[in-house]
Structure 1
Amino acid sequence: MCLLWILASAALAVIDFRLGGIALAACPLALAVLRALPSPWGDIWVNRARGTDMLTMVFVSALLLTLSLTVPGG
Structure 2
Amino acid sequence: VPEDCADLTGQLQPFVKEEVLVSVFNGTFPCTAEQFFNNLLSDDSSYITEYRTARQDKDINLGQWHVADEYDGQQ
**TM-score normalised according to structure 1 size:** 0.31
**TM-score normalised according to structure 2 size:** 0.30
Q: Which has the higher contact order (CA 8 A, sep 6+)?
A: 1
> Which structure is larger by alpha-carbon Rg, 1 or 2?
2
